[in-house]
Structure 1
Amino acid sequence: MIPAELTATDGGTNASLPRAERAYQQLRAAIQAGQLAPGTRLREVELAESLGLSRTPVREALSRLESEGLVVNEPNRGMMVTQLDASMVSELYVMREVLEGTAAALAARHATDVELSLLRDIVERDLAIADDPVRLAANNRLFHETLHRCAHNRYLLKTLRSLHESMALLGRSTLAVPGRAHASYEEHASLVAALEQRDPALAEQIMRRHIQQAYKVRLSLWIEEQAGS
């Protein structure tokens, strides 16, 4: 079901933007925030009413989101937020492992001391918010986004941003699973130590293992959700 009013979650959408761009940003933010969950049917009339726009910019926004893989046009069901199956989840994590492993190796070579200090601060913040899965998930995203920038490779950064937009389709954070938050903290701390040692091979190995562990938890969540649906 489409909410009566969709609101941007990134601080608001600039009213001076073209209407199609505003519609795109608000719909993308709603998908990422879970307002529009995977499997939600996207009817132009309802979306236009919810966004306070006409159908034309909404149609353009949906076409753009479809090209990015966030929505799909099913022959018998129409436009809907993409639902990931087991193979798609696997493919997503395979790419995460490759790309984030590469980012970790590059960060070990190119990150500044200030950037590494910032990464360390982000990791240690987990200890203060250990009982808040929402804040933990936000801090986790910040850690990974900061690490990506530490690689100092604009093309890798662009690819990772696109990949992480698709991650929004996975649903709730794996950090809410008992024990995963602490394990993730330990993995992040080990990664930062490898970066501080300027050891690209070790940093890549730790990051790949981190993504593999996250995938195991994610797959368990997916199986659990499928069993309950």
Structure 2
Amino acid sequence: MHSTELQDMSQGELAYHRLHAAIRAGEFQPGDRLREIDVAKKLSLSRTPVREALRKLENDGIVEHRPRLGAVIRTLSTTEIVELYEMRLVLERTAAEMAAKHANPAEVDLLEDINEQIDGAGQDTPRAAALNQDFHRSIYLATRNRFLLASARALNNALILLGPTTLDDEARIKTVSSQHAQIITAIAAGDQQAAGDAAEAHLQTSLRHRLKVLQS
């Protein structure tokens, strides 16, 4: 978000934007307690806009109010995680298929560039995770479908409740970049079936890894 847009926000909107961004970046994790005074200090804001932001995050389903604890970032159950990945699989497969139909060479080049950066991220898992988000967002943008984009955005709040990235080591990053390369190849060739299949395989691998991490 541009600085001019931030300047036009009310204090409550600014607090919401900053806190939402902090949760997305992993500065706050699922299960963490969000005490108004601590959040206000961290975000350099007063408690009133922070209180407003917490109420909005509760409406979004990101935060829940627990007796004697107050505001806490929601933790997804294993069943909810599987359901979320099932929904992601539907959207990601559709996005890859539509990108194969509509993407232009510049958009394919962008996907390749982002994926090369992911592949070279090494042990910098936060950078790899951020680039991974950029990669998938770029596929959605290449679909040329505003309704699919809106559906993807609707999942964003749930996605940040997944907690730490599954891109937790260099080997995992290499696996992801290899699977991304298969998606890119299919999109570049205009092969909708292959793009959808590659996207589905990628999400299935991600879900298996996520569940393995939860069980460890």
Give the TM-score normalised by the residue count of structure 2.
0.89
Q: Distance in 2 between matches of 1:178 and 1:54?
A: 40
The residue number in structure 1 matching 2:153 is 161
161-170 or 200-209: which moved more?
Answer: 161-170
The residue number in structure 1 matching 2:20 is 28
Query: How many corresponding residue pairs?
Result: 215
Structure 2 counterpart of 1:151, one-letter code = T
Q: Does 2:208 align with 1:208?
A: no
Structure 1 counterpart of 2:151, one-letter code = T
Q: CA RMSD in A?
A: 2.2
Kindly indicate whether the alpha-carbon contact (under 8 Å) linking 2:31 and 2:72 is maintained by their aligned counterparts in 1.
Answer: yes
5 Å-filtered alignment, 1:101-140, equals: 101-140=93-132
1:171 equivalent among 152, 163, 167: 163
Structure 2 counterpart of 1:143, one-letter code = F
1:69 equivalent among 50, 61, 71: 61
| Amino-acid identity (%) | 39
- List runs of 5+ in structure 1 lacking aligned partners: 1-9, 225-229
Q: Does 2:95 align with 1:83?
A: no
- List runs of 5+ in structure 2 lacking aligned partners: none
The residue number in structure 1 matching 2:134 is 142
The residue number in structure 1 matching 2:90 is 98
Q: CA deviation at 1:108?
A: 0.8
The residue number in structure 2 matching 1:227 is none
43-52 or 91-100: which moved more?
Answer: 43-52
Q: CA deviation at 1:125?
A: 2.8
Rate the CA distance shift 1:40–1:127 in 2: closer, same or farther, 3 A. closer
Rate the CA distance shift 1:131–1:34 in 2: closer, same or farther, 3 A. closer
Q: Distance in 1 between matches of 2:195 and 2:65?
A: 40
Kindly indicate whether the alpha-carbon contact (under 8 Å) linking 2:119 and 2:173 is maintained by their aligned counterparts in 1.
Answer: no
Q: Distance in 1 between matches of 2:174 and 2:45?
A: 44
77-86 or 38-47: which moved more?
Answer: 38-47
Q: 2:76 is paired with a residue of what secondary structure? A: coil
Q: 1:175 is paired with a residue of what secondary structure? A: coil
Q: CA deviation at 1:185?
A: 1.4
Structure 2 counterpart of 1:204, one-letter code = G
The residue number in structure 2 matching 1:193 is 185
Give the TM-score normalised by the residue count of structure 1.
0.84
Q: 1:80 is paired with a residue of what secondary structure? A: strand
Q: Distance in 1 between matches of 2:79 and 2:68?
A: 22
Deviations 1:170-207 (A, max 9, x none): 22221224632221111111111111111112111110
